[in-house]
Structure 1
């Protein structure tokens, strides 16, 4: 039986898993995350289950896939009604506190935490209504802001993250003075490195002035893959149109890399406080992100693709029960965290949870093969559903109505060569589709998501009203207002 301990969970927003020193980046500056990986287990094939904030976070909370939850997109947030791991642990008698971004519907809901400190939830309790438009995709408003914000400085997001780190340290100090026999959970949720790509100068210029700053892969116009799903996304969210000079691309990359370093700095401050408070030996630490970031690869910025940069996530767990300096290449995903967190805090799994798709990572980290990770997407910039299966060697992506994709990640880890059209891969594609259909009926799920989205769009006044109101480039930090810009 795994010994229960305290649990400190760090989550970031939009952290491309390749941008850490411990994952092989020669340019990323992430000493605290690297140190965490050195004393724990890093899962090198970890995935979110839907690459956008709201659905990813709903899955992470509940351990269930989007198709089972109905949190299809950024306009259908988690409302606390489905059982979550934090509710289960809280109801067992433990203190489960969240500090920072949750991106649920509202703090007026019981989201399963003992306390929510400076939470960020979706705008007006409804989120991004533009996600509900799935046909005749509009060009989204606010997309210019990603390039325009890239540079040195402070933003409402960096101020928010500094506040989150400060409050987490104060919470740990207070907790160290308490006498309790129950393990506690502290969920510290930062917004970096999510855009705006405004990084504190000491971090920004470290990369902007680096002559070896690597350029995005497949960035040239002739190199970009011409898949219809990617064309849809690039049309609706044309971020790259505004990265219209080498200087702007360099600023975007430096801003993002700088925010990764800034994030690492905040995490380091909280981990140092844990040590100073004498709590480190009694506490397991987890680090992950809600999803990744394309970061210019293939001419794409943002998320919502099934490429490694977007659907992949960093995942590190350190503490009792996990290997030291170990790298686990077995595919895992966020649904595995629900049973992991229950086991870490000594909470028994209920019979009603027998159908959860995840498996405790206390067991998985020792495995060498034999698992498959699943992801799906039904939101922004997509006319049709996308589904991913990742096994030990291959990644299969199925699109309703569009050609499938297939990548051999052993020999092509950068996903530069789509094998799906090769005759010799036909049997593999058939086998993968057959396996996908054990997870869901992809056409039926696609139709269900679109029916719900259409009904909700009508409820909010219809397509034209939503377009007239516009959308926002990122959710505002607490105390700031969303800035709406019209779509077209």
Structure 2
């Protein structure tokens, strides 16, 4: 029996319909991206691509930046390890959670413990999650609690010599010099080796891997060969001016100087330790850059290289004489600015974004890149619009705090600092990148200052925890205000 033309067309149509339905129901799901999340402890802007120090040698961080997008105006939420990392991993501000200083952990904050931290969220979404080194604060049990399949600190801040190398008599971690003999003795070397092993093996995909390096955090120890890269006789020193604190309130000085364990700038200068401190910091930066290079190399050689998002950040900045300060714990540019680089599939290479962004933006950004539903409780914003167009409209500010009531608000060109006693600072980075001139009283800036003030939250969660140097510094500044008011 011959089929009529209409019947033949009907059969062909039905066949195509069946095939379409079959392939629609069996089509391959889009491949999920992997996440390689790298943190570097206490790394300021002394890397090649940020230009914080003209002699900094960081070829591996630089090549990562050249393969992705460098956020040159990125800031932490607190200039202290624990609150900065807690904020980054929950996408909640310290003023929301009450985690302002070196304790407590996330689980001890009634607000923060209701959130799902970044590694656990990716685990819930079917990712293989593991990590090594300092991802959260390194107090006992914290990383083990929050990072599935955590591999350990692998030595942390060690190794330590039997006696101090520097002449500084204070806190045992505050030491600097050439030690130990070999890179292989350093925990960061072991961390990179762990990554080499785990990325070179067949790894379950998709994966979220956290890699937390410890240097350049004190003690500033690395083998001699890294010091040899920065001879003292040719070392360039940070740009400073005398009387830099003269236009800053007493509260602003106290909150950064009282009860801190780092050496004062006066001690550093009197004991001729400024150059050795700068040299040791740069040596540590170049050492950790080499370990980052090993991680990038093994990723590039792996089968997952083309489908892996790489994020590199620090937890806060670090002073080396600027503002007459050494260490972290300040609301100035040197204390809050951090490297932030995002590279991977679909992200253009070699671009720089100058918009103000924050560490707590990383979590929602990675959810967005992984096509995972956003968390409505997050206070950060996805950076995907800026990854697509570095000049996209962006009406967000960066917000940093050091205890309730002490805030820095950063925009593309300006910084407002407001302290708990009401005193303020305002800097125009277009003409004053070093923040040497406080223009808070300048009438030309009052409208811009008001706009920045509007970003300071009225609600501040009370301080949780106690006993850390941050708690003590905050309390000392408060007590000094009280004493002055009585007098």
Query: Are the counterparts in 1 of residues 365 and 381 from structure 2 also a CA contact under 8 Å?
Result: yes
1:427/1:30 Cα in 2 relative to 1: closer, same or farther (>3 Å)? same
Deviations 1:259-279 (A, max 9, x none): 000010000011111223333
Whole-Å separation in 1 of the counterparts to 2:426 and 2:298: 45
Q: What's the CA shift for 1:216? A: 2.6
Whole-Å separation in 2 of the counterparts to 1:2 and 1:65: 33
Q: Secondary structure at the match of 1:236?
A: coil
Query: Are the counterparts in 2 of residues 47 and 373 from structure 1 also a CA contact under 8 Å?
Result: no
Of residues 88, 94, 100, the one that matches 2:121 is 88
Partner of 2:197: 170
Q: Secondary structure at the match of 2:455?
A: helix
Of residues 301, 322, 334, the one that matches 1:297 is 322
1:268/1:121 Cα in 2 relative to 1: closer, same or farther (>3 Å)? closer
Whole-Å separation in 2 of the counterparts to 1:223 and 1:429: 21
1:264-413 mapped onto 2 (5 Å cutoff) = 264-349=289-374, 353-365=375-387, 366-368=389-391, 369-379=393-403, 385-413=405-433
Q: What's the CA shift for 1:61? A: 0.5
1:143/1:56 Cα in 2 relative to 1: closer, same or farther (>3 Å)? farther
Which runs of 5 or more residues in structure 1 are unaligned? 124-140, 468-488
Whole-Å separation in 2 of the counterparts to 1:36 and 1:273: 13
Q: Secondary structure at the match of 2:215?
A: strand
Deviations 1:59-103 (A, max 9, x none): 111011112222121021223833112111101111111100131
Of residues 192, 195, 214, the one that matches 2:215 is 192
Which runs of 5 or more residues in structure 2 are unaligned? 1-28, 158-167, 477-487
Deviations 1:13-67 (A, max 9, x none): 11112x1111124200000011111111000000111110000000111011112
Whole-Å separation in 1 of the counterparts to 2:409 and 2:50: 22
Whole-Å separation in 1 of the counterparts to 2:143 and 2:43: 28
Whole-Å separation in 1 of the counterparts to 2:285 and 2:170: 21
* Matched residue count: 420
Q: Any runs of at least 4 consecutive aligned residues in structure 1 with deviations exceeding 6 A, and if so which?
A: 120-123, 155-158
Partner of 1:153: 179
Q: What's the CA shift for 1:119? A: 3.6
Query: Are the counterparts in 2 of residues 342 and 348 from structure 1 also a CA contact under 8 Å?
Result: yes
Partner of 1:209: 232
Partner of 1:98: 131
Give the alignment's TM-score, normalised by structure 1. Answer: 0.78
1:156/1:244 Cα in 2 relative to 1: closer, same or farther (>3 Å)? farther
1:406/1:119 Cα in 2 relative to 1: closer, same or farther (>3 Å)? same
1:218-233 mapped onto 2 (5 Å cutoff) = 218=240, 220=242, 222-227=243-248, 228-232=250-254, 233=256
Is 1:11 the equivalent of 2:39? yes
Deviations 1:248-301 (A, max 9, x none): 111000000000000100000111112233332221211100111011112101
Of residues 48, 71, 76, the one that matches 2:104 is 76
Is 1:115 the equivalent of 2:153? no
Whole-Å separation in 2 of the counterparts to 1:29 and 1:273: 21
Q: Secondary structure at the match of 1:425?
A: helix
Highest Rg: 1 or 2? Answer: 2
Q: What's the CA shift for 1:121? A: 12
Deviations 1:406-448 (A, max 9, x none): 1111222221211102233333323322332xxx21xx52xx5
Superposition RMSD in Å: 3.1
1:100/1:202 Cα in 2 relative to 1: closer, same or farther (>3 Å)? same
